[in-house]
């Protein structure tokens, strides 16, 4: 019998579920809203009930599964199977996750943080093409990341490996970051960071520009606006995009020189700008990467979109298949 995997991608608004083969092929997908009321006390019971309901629907039993993997916000203790500090879930205090789910379902359960799980997804079935060495960054509300090196997800001594959003790219005059430092990549390459950079640069820009007009006019501006106007050849918007891509290329240079991965995969909302972004990042990357690294490490767009989470989460459960 070919046993299956369950992947869960737990987010602040929805929890996504999938049943996959051990080859990473999705066979069933569903999602439920995340109920963050009562300090998030409903989340784990809702997950258990949803899986139970679906297994009944598909006429499947616990024995048909190798395991369940889950990606979650917050700080994960993988050995204990707990999460703390997932504020968008209202999980401020320590939450038991593994124990109640295994007790209720009788299927081995493991978890990791959401950026690591998305990195695993892209490495396994996405742009990483199953390479043993892949770095991943996601440019969304913040900038997250995950590192796979020599085939292992890298956690570091305290689980803070892959904090790519906090690579310093502006050491002397950077924007304040929520983490307490200044000049982190996240302050200039997240969706809000791109807009902050545009607002700051607009103060120095004197020429004609629709983007500058929108900013000066007090209009709501998004990172998508910045990229769309740059694509429409707005010179000021182009200079903002160039600066964002410089910062991304510099951070990719550091990742490349330290890890020499086969690919650095860029995902998240900001990466929707596509090749327009990628070509510019790659150009700066080539300036900052050691020549052998520039030749062998590719900068790539993420391929899996929203599915990276459930696929990567499911891949965690492959560890039970040994």
Chain residues binding its own copies by CB under 8 A are: 131, 133, 147, 149-150, 152-164, 166-168, 171, 179-181, 184, 246, 250, 253-255, 257-262, 287-293, 295-297
Give the strand pairing for 14-20 and 65-72: unpaired
| Minimum CB distance to its own copies smaller for 105 or for 184 | 184
d(CA 218, CA 286): 37
Give the alpha-carbon dihedral of 271, 297, 168, 195, to 10 degrees. Answer: -20
Residue 39 sits at the vertex; the CA angle it makes with 42 and 103, to the nearest 5 degrees, is 40
Question: What is the nearest approach in angstroms of its own copies to the Cβ of residue 156?
Answer: 2
The nearer residue to its own copies, 34 or 113, going by C-beta atoms, is: 113
CB of 93 to its own copies, least distance (A): 19
The token pair at 126 is 């996405």
Upper half-sphere CA count for residue 64 (Cβ side, 13 Å): 11
C-alpha radius of gyration, the chain, whole number: 21
Nearer to its own copies, 27 or 287 (CB): 287
Chain-centre distance for alpha carbon 32: 20
Q: At its nearest, how many Å lie between its own copies and the CB of residue 161?
A: 4
Q: Please identify which residue in the block is written with the tokens 């409903």.
A: 42
Smallest distance from its own copies to CB 175, Å: 14
Least Cβ distance, residue 181 to its own copies (angstroms):
7
Distance (Å, rounded) from C-alpha 116 to C-alpha 135?
A: 10
Round to whole Å and give the CA distance between 267 and 257.
Answer: 21
E strands, 1-94, where? 4-10, 14-20, 26-33, 65-72, 75-77, 82-84
Question: Closer to its own copies at the Cβ: 50 or 296?
Answer: 296
Buried b (16+ CB within 10 A) or exposed e, 127-163: bbbeeebbbbbbbbebbbbbbbbeeebebeeeeebbb
Retrieve residue 67's tokens. Answer: 């395991």
Residue 44 or 259 having the CB closest to its own copies: 259
Give the position of tokens 């696929």. Answer: 311
Minimum CB distance to its own copies, residue 291 (Å): 6
Nearer CB in complex with its own copies: 95/297: 297
Reading the block at residue 76, the tokens are 């994960």
CB of 197 to its own copies, least distance (A): 16
Nearer to its own copies, 257 or 283 (CB): 257
CB of 65 to its own copies, least distance (A): 26
Distance CA 269, CA 271 (A): 5
Nearer residue to its own copies within complex by CB, 159 or 269: 159
Structure-block tokens of residue 47: 């997950």
């Amino acid at each position: 019998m070919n046993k299956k995997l369950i992947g869960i991608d737990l987010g602040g608004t929805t929890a996504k579920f999938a049943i996959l083969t051990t080859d990473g092929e999705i066979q069933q997908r569903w999602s439920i809203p995340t109920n963050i009321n009562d300090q998030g006390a409903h989340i784990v019971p809702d997950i258990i009930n949803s899986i139970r309901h679906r297994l009944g629907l598909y006429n499947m039993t616990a024995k048909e599964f190798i395991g369940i993997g889950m990606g979650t916000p917050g700080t994960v203790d993988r050995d204990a199977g707990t999460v703390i500090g997932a504020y968008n879930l209202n999980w401020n205090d320590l939450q038991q996750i593994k124990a109640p789910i295994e007790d209720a379902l009788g299927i081995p359960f493991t978890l990791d943080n959401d950026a690591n799980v998305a990195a695993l997804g892209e490495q396994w079935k996405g742009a990483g093409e199953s390479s043993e060495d892949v770095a991943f960054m996601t440019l969304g509300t913040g900038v997250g990341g995950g590192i796979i090196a020599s085939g292992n997800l890298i956690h570091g001594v305290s689980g803070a490996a892959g904090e790519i959003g906090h690579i310093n790219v502006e050491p002397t005059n950077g924007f304040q970051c929520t983490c307490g430092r200044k000049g982190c990549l996240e302050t200039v390459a997240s969706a809000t960071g791109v807009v902050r950079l545009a607002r700051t640069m607009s103060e120095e820009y004197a020429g004609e520009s629709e983007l500058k007009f929108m900013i000066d006019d007090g209009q709501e501006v998004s990172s998508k606006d910045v990229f769309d106007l740059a694509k429409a050849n707005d010179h000021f918007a182009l200079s903002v995009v160039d600066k964002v891509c410089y910062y991304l290329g510099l951070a990719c240079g550091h990742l490349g020189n330290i890890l020499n991965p086969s690919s650095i995969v860029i995902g998240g909302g900001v990466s929707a700008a596509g090749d327009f972004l990628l070509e510019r990042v790659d150009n700066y990357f080539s300036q900052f990467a050691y020549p052998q690294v520039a030749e062998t490490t590719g900068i790539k767009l993420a391929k899996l979109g929203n599915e990276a989470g459930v696929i990567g989460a499911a891949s965690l459960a492959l560890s039970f298949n040994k």
